[in-house]
Amino acid sequence: MLYKRRHTLPYLFVLCSCLALVATALADNWPQWRGPAGTGVSNERELPIVWHESRSIIWKTPLPEWGTSTPAIWGDAIFLTSHTADNKLLVLRLNKKDGKIVWQREVGQGEAPRQAEKRSTQKFHQLHNLASPSPVTDGKTVVVHFGNGDLAAYDFDGKQLWKRNLQDDYGAYTIWWGHANSPVIYGNSVISVCMQDSLSDLRDKPVESYLVAHQLQTGRELWKKPRNTGAPAEEADSYTTPLLANLNGQMQLIVMGGNVLDSYDPSTGEQLWYLPGLKGGRTVTGPTVANDMIYATRGMRGPLLGIRPNGTGELSKRAIVWDHAEGSPDTCSPVVWNDLLFTVTDDGIARCFDAATGHIKWKHRITGKYKASPVAVEGRIFFLNTEGLCTVVSAMPRFDKLIENQLDDETLASPAISDGRFYIRGKKALYCIGR
């Protein structure tokens, strides 16, 4: 008996270790805009592919209306922001198990003006409001940002750790259609970007675009760097979120906008390299990274680019491995699964590319209009349109539509994935969808 026990223990240890690894793989957090790596890709398993209002809905929680921020998820906590009709700016924590609101805090107040004198102050597009930037969390602290400049940190119990306003600190926003960039966390810092019209042709002192890092626990400024690309008027506007990625053995903060793609050391804010001359217009579609390449779209439906950024300082055009000019997305960020890159235009033309060469594999119209960025999981791509319809296709070099799933809500926010479930934020409610 002792012989058996002595030889069984190592196997039990290995078995428990494997089960722990499987459990970890099935319970990934979704801590920020576009997930763990900021690329819209999840390594989860056993997700549903069929759902509607009476099937696969684990829970559905009405929300204070409204916002277009993506949920940030860590453990059993789900964080969302919202902008109410009476102009309250809210952060909410929901329980992942049952969707109940654990706490709700008013961060501040503000209006999203729909009308403003051209090139004076920001006005907001009708499709979003002050609750467009997504929350970000490191598992202990959650940071929220709003289009009026409010930047605040809370612990998981709902206690405010600090708050400041970036417009008060660094000047009024002059972005044309309402500030929407989400912050990211790197180590002990939270990094924000602001890319906006410099008004250099109208003012003696141009308005500055910038990157700024604040200490996560205190809100103290750690570093601030100007990012003035020389792009005129609306071409300087960018609504993209910075992307943290390890390229060429170095952690980099990648920023797209103002007709420039560039990279920074997230510890210091020092610029590592830049690729100028990507003239297009205001930029909404954020970049993604896979296989040591960056995929980015020039603003205003300019060409989609595959870029390999080897070197420092100013990069030559040889860094652009390929470009594709037809039918680029205007809003939705691209997503890569294995060796294939997928995009969708605002009017519903989905495309699949060879990620290494840019050769198009297929092009197909899918139903509806699109603002949410697609997500990739388990060899499938999920395209969520603005009317609650999600088209599921195989991540393959030939078009293979699996199903269309309909929810009864307006859906502009990108989906989140955690613990084998989808979390879809509508204008009226947050849905938890699972098997």
Residue 58's nearest CA partner among 17, 11, 95, 31 is 95
Asked whether the beta carbons of 35 and 416 are under 8 A apart, the reply is yes
Q: Omega into 66 within 30° of 0, i.e. cis?
A: yes
8 A C-beta contact, residue 37 and residue 29: no
More confident residue, 311 or 17: 311
pLDDT value, residue 95: 98
Confidence of residue 216 (pLDDT cuts 50, 70, 90): very high
Number of domains present in the structure of the chain: 1
- 49-56 average pLDDT score: 97
What pLDDT is stored for residue 120 in this prediction?
A: 87
Give the burial string for 266-283 (b: 16+ CB within 10 Å, else e): beebebbbbbbebebbbb
Query: For 408-425, how does the pLDDT look when each residue is reduced to its tens digit (9 = 90+)?
Result: 999 999 999 999 999 999
pLDDT for the residue numbered 3: 35
Residue length of the chain: 435
- For residue 384, pLDDT over 60 is answered with yes
Report whether 372 contacts 412 (CB < 8 A): yes
Q: What is the mean pLDDT of residues 354-373?
A: 98
For residue 91, is pLDDT > 80?
A: yes
CATH number of the domain within which 171 lies: 2.130.10.10
Contact of 285 with 329, CB cutoff 8 Å? yes
Q: What is the pLDDT of residue 9?
A: 39
User: Are 87 and 151 a contacting pair, CB within 8 Å?
Assistant: no
Kindly tell me the sign of the dihedral angle through the C-alpha atoms of 324, 374, 90, 111.
positive
> Which residues are CB-neighbours of 204 under 8 A, at least 6 positions away?
none
Confidence of residue 6 (pLDDT cuts 50, 70, 90): very low
What is the structure's pLDDT at 23?
40
Residues 6+ apart with CB under 8 A from 306: 293, 294, 295, 320, 321, 322, 323, 341, 355, 356, 357, 358
Q: What's the pLDDT at 121?
A: 87
205 pLDDT more than 80: yes
Query: Residue 47 corresponds to which amino acid?
Result: L
pLDDT for the residue numbered 68 = 97
Its sign, for the CA torsion 389, 40, 177, 108, is positive
Give long-range contacts, CB 8 A cutoff, 24+ apart: 159-165.
160/105, 160/107, 161/217, 161/218, 161/219, 162/217, 162/218, 162/219, 163/107, 163/108, 163/219, 164/214, 164/219, 165/108
Q: What is the pTM of this model?
A: 0.93
For the residues 224-247, what does the mean pLDDT come to? 97
Cβ distance 79 to 88 under 8 Å?
no
Is the four-CA dihedral 377, 382, 384, 390 of positive or negative sign? negative
For position 421, what pLDDT does the model report? 98
Closest to 80 (Cα-Cα) out of 434, 427, 428, 425: 425
Residue 94 has a pLDDT of: 98
- Write the pLDDT tens digit of every residue in 239-271: 999 999 999 999 999 999 999 999 999 999 999
Of 124, 130, 133, the closest CA to residue 110 belongs to 130
Closest to 25 in 3D by CA, of 46, 3, 43: 43
How many percent of the chain have pLDDT more than 90?
92
Q: What would the pLDDT profile of 300-331 be if each residue is shown by its tens digit?
A: 999 999 999 999 999 999 999 999 999 999 99
Residue range of the domain that includes 189: 2-433
- Indicate the SS3 state at residue 105: strand
Residue 19 clears pLDDT 80, i.e. is over it: no
Q: What is the mean predicted confidence (pLDDT) over 98-115?
A: 97
7, pLDDT greater than 50 = no
Average pLDDT of span 179-191: 98
Give the pLDDT of residue 27: 61
Category of 135 on φ-ψ map: left (φ > 0), alpha (ψ -120 to 50) or beta: beta
Round to whole Å and give the CA distance between 327 and 349. 8
* Cβ-count burial 385-407 (b if 16+ within 10 Å, e if not): bbebbbbbbebbeeeeeeebbeb
Stretch (H or E) spanning 89:
strand 88-95
Give the CA dihedral 270, 275, 279, 282, nearest 10 degrees.
Answer: -40
Phi then psi for 16, rounded to 5 degrees? -65, -40
